[in-house]
């Protein structure tokens, strides 16, 4: 049931990002919505739960995106390693630190994507439009990233509670 | 012998190196990861289709019933445009007749319009760094990898990944896209590549050609993907460097990729006819 929650949330975020948000001009420069969810998985959920979800949806993102195969998987893998490493010495579950974690993740994702474009596309230069895109993403990440994380934490708590209630009722019968 | 910290640093360096090597391998050889890739698209695409259909439904209700004030103003403007268009249409009829005669003379086989398949855009690329869209037509509708995707305004892109009912389209504004094209006025040839901010770069145009701003760029048909003569965009900037053999030309596409909703897939003529014959 836990995996069911993760799959539903990831699908919802992908649909929101690829189908709903392109219709709203305000959100044209929004960052990858799976990033805060994967950060949530790394911080708050155990390894055996987070790793398969990150790998599976990393692969789904590879399939629906036009980038070189491996970019999303690379980004999510390093995100996973980075956040897991940070939580060994920093208590990032604290709310004041969450915006910085999301911003760092968004910057890392952009660094990998732009870096790969610059490396593999001869003649491609880092333009002002690129820095604006990254700036807008960082702006959104600072304000909305922690809200997403808190929402995921809250909704999973509710989901878990509900599932436990149902299973207790079944056992009681 | 080695400290734990040292082993960790070496491990991270090795991991980064392996990662870069793998990505560069995948970048050079396009992997069409047939089975799993198609399955992933098949999982996500139906949800994308359902949500884009419902969004369009709600938006159409808004446009048709709550936006009538603007519609009245627009109606007046359109009436004026219609009068102008009527005059032009008489001219175009003359052109059409002469065009038909010339086509017969040159033994053109068929008009492009009877070999296209209409498709709806159901999802856009999740990353702002790549420009692809998903459409709701796939292998079972006759779509194949490498088919041209156009709209009446001009070339939109080409199919790069095809599953049973859905396809991924690489737009011409993507860095990985390339279209063999020429300037309509003086026939200067080059390659249209994706640039930044929705613009395209017209590469490898020789300095000797007198390319000017507002010149129309059309497909040359030499890439084997896009039929000859389809409009790509207009020249919006020309820089002639003092040295070198090429000039830097920027092209603004006619297609508004932000508002891309319906597209036409140009089916490969011979195969399409072969299917019909069978």
Please write the tens of the pLDDT for every residue from A33-81. 999 999 988 888 888 888 889 998 998 888 888 878 888 888 899 888 8
pLDDT digits (tens, 9 = 90+) for B231-272: 889 998 888 887 888 888 999 998 888 888 888 888 865 554
The domain of B87 spans: 68-108
pLDDT at residue B241 in the model: 81
Q: How far is B103 from chain A (nearest CA, A)?
A: 38
Residue B145 lies in a domain: no
Residue A139 lies in a domain: yes
Please indicate whether residue B81 or residue B26 has the higher confidence score (pLDDT).
Answer: B81
B154 has pLDDT over 50: yes
Candidate from B124, B174, B258 with C-beta closest to A18: B124
pLDDT at residue A155 in the model: 87
pLDDT at residue B107 in the model: 46
B94 has pLDDT over 70: no
Q: Give me the residues paired with residue B182 across strands.
A: B189, B218
The domain of A59 spans: 2-6+35-152
Residue B12 lies in a domain: no
- A35 contact B CB<8A: no
pLDDT at residue B191 in the model: 92
Q: Do the Cβ atoms of A130 and B161 come within 8 Å? A: no
pLDDT at residue B101 in the model: 57
Q: How far is A146 from chain B (nearest CA, A)?
A: 21
A31 has pLDDT over 60: yes
Q: Which range in B13-27, B80-94, B252-266 is most confidently predicted, on average pLDDT?
A: B252-266
pLDDT digits (tens, 9 = 90+) for B184-232: 888 889 999 888 777 888 888 888 888 888 888 988 888 888 888 888 8
Cα distance between residue A104 and residue B62, in whole Å: 40
Q: Which region, left, alpha or beta, applies to residue B132 given φ > 0 means left and ψ of -120 to 50 means alpha?
A: beta
Domains in chain A: how many in total?
Answer: 1
Q: How far is B178 from chain A (nearest CA, A)?
A: 12
Phi, psi torsion values for A16, nearest 5 degrees: -60, -45
pLDDT digits (tens, 9 = 90+) for B103-152: 654 543 454 555 778 888 888 888 888 889 999 888 888 888 888 898 87
DSSP, residue by residue, chain B: ---HHHHHHHHHHHHHHHHHHHHHHHHHS----HHHHHHHHHHHHHHHHHHHHHHHHHHHHIIIII-HHHHHHHHHHHHHHHHHHHHHHHHHHHHHHHHHHHHHHTT----GGGGEEEEEEEEE-SSTTS-EEEES--GGGT--TT-EEEETTEEEEEEEEE-SS-EEEEETTSTT-EEEEEETTT--EEEEEE-STT-EEEEEEETTS---TT-EEEE-STTSSSPTT-EEEEEEEEE--SSSSEEEEEEEESS-GGG--EEEEE--HHHHHHHHH-
pLDDT at residue B277 in the model: 46
Q: What is the mean pLDDT of chain B?
A: 80
Domains in chain B: how many in total?
Answer: 2
In this prediction, residue B66 has a pLDDT band, given cuts at 50, 70 and 90, of: low
Instruction: Please give the model's pTM, rounded to 2 decimal places.
Output: 0.73
In this prediction, residue B16 has a pLDDT band, given cuts at 50, 70 and 90, of: confident
Q: Are strands B154-162 and B246-253 parallel, antiparallel or unpaired?
A: unpaired
Residue B118 lies in a domain: no
Q: Do the Cβ atoms of B127 and A14 come within 8 Å? A: no
Closest CA relative to residue A77, chosen from B33, B26, B16, B38: B16
Residue B244 lies in a domain: yes
pLDDT digits (tens, 9 = 90+) for B39-58: 778 888 888 888 888 888 88
Phi, psi torsion values for A107, nearest 5 degrees: -65, -40
Please indicate whether residue A119 or residue A37 has the higher confidence score (pLDDT).
Answer: A37
Residues on chain A touching B41 (C-beta within 8 angstroms): 63-64
Average pLDDT over residues B150-176: 88
* Dihedral angle over CA of B222, B224, B229, B230, nearest 10: -140
Tokens standing for residue B104: 């017969």
Tokens standing for residue B68: 């009538």
Residue B266 lies in a domain: no
Residue B183 lies in a domain: yes
Residue B194 lies in a domain: yes
Q: Which of A18, A28, A59 should one mutate to test binding to chain B, selecting the residue with the greatest count of B CBs within 10 A?
A: A18
In this prediction, residue B157 has a pLDDT band, given cuts at 50, 70 and 90, of: very high
Residue B27 lies in a domain: no
pLDDT digits (tens, 9 = 90+) for A129-170: 888 888 999 999 888 888 888 888 888 888 888 888 887 877
Residue A163 lies in a domain: no
Cα distance between residue B118 and residue B139, in whole Å: 14
CATH of residue B186's domain is 2.40.10.350
pLDDT at residue B171 in the model: 92
Which among B77, B108, B139 is the end of a domain?
B108
């Amino acid at each position: 049931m836990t995996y069911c929650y993760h799959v539903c949330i990831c699908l919802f975020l992908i649909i929101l990002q690829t189908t709903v948000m392109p219709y709203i001009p305000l959100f044209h420069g929004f960052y990858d919505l799976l990033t805060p969810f994967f950060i949530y998985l790394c911080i708050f959920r155990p390894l055996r739960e987070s790793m398969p979800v990150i790998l599976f949806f990393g692969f789904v993102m590879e399939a629906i995106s036009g980038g070189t195969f491996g970019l999303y998987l690379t980004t999510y893998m390093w995100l996973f390693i980075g956040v897991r490493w940070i939580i060994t010495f920093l208590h990032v579950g604290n709310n004041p630190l969450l915006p910085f974690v999301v911003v760092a993740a968004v910057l890392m994702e952009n660094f990998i994507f732009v870096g790969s474009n610059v490396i593999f596309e001869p003649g491609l230069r880092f333009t002002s439009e690129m820095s604006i895109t990254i700036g807008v993403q960082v702006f959104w990440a600072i304000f909305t990233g922690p809200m997403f994380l808190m929402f995921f934490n809250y909704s999973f708590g509710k989901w878990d509670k509900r599932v436990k209630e149902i299973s207790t009722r079944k056992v009681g019968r | 012998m080695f400290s734990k910290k040292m082993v960790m640093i070496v491990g991270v360096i090795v991991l980064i190196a392996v990662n870069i090597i793998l990505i560069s391998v995948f970048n050079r050889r396009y992997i069409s990861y047939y089975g799993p890739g198609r399955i992933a698209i098949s999982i996500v695409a139906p949800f994308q289709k359902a949500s884009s259909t419902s969004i369009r439904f709600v938006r159409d209700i808004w446009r048709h019933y709550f936006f009538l004030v603007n519609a009245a103003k627009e109606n007046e403007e359109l009436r004026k445009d219609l009068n102008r268009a009527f005059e032009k249409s008489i001219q175009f009829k003359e052109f059409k007749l002469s065009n038909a005669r010339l086509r017969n003379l040159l033994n053109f086989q068929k008009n492009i319009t009877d070999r296209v398949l209409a498709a709806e855009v159901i999802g856009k690329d999740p990353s702002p760094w790549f420009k692809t869209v998903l459409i709701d037509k796939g292998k079972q509708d006759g779509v194949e990898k490498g088919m041209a995707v156009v709209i009446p305004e001009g070339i939109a892109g080409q199919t790069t990944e095809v599953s049973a009912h859905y396809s991924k389209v690489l737009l011409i504004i993507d860095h990985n896209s390339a279209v063999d094209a020429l300037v309509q006025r003086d026939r200067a040839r080059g390659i249209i590549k994706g640039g930044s901010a929705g613009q395209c770069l017209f590469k490898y145009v020789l300095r000797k050609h007198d390319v000017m701003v507002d010149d129309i760029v059309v497909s040359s048909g030499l890439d084997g993907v896009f039929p000859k003569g389809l409009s790509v965009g207009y020249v919006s900037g020309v820089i002639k460097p003092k040295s070198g053999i090429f000039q830097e030309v920027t092209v603004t596409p006619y297609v508004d990729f932000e508002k891309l909703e319906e597209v036409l897939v140009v089916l490969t003529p011979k195969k399409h006819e072969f299917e019909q014959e069978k």
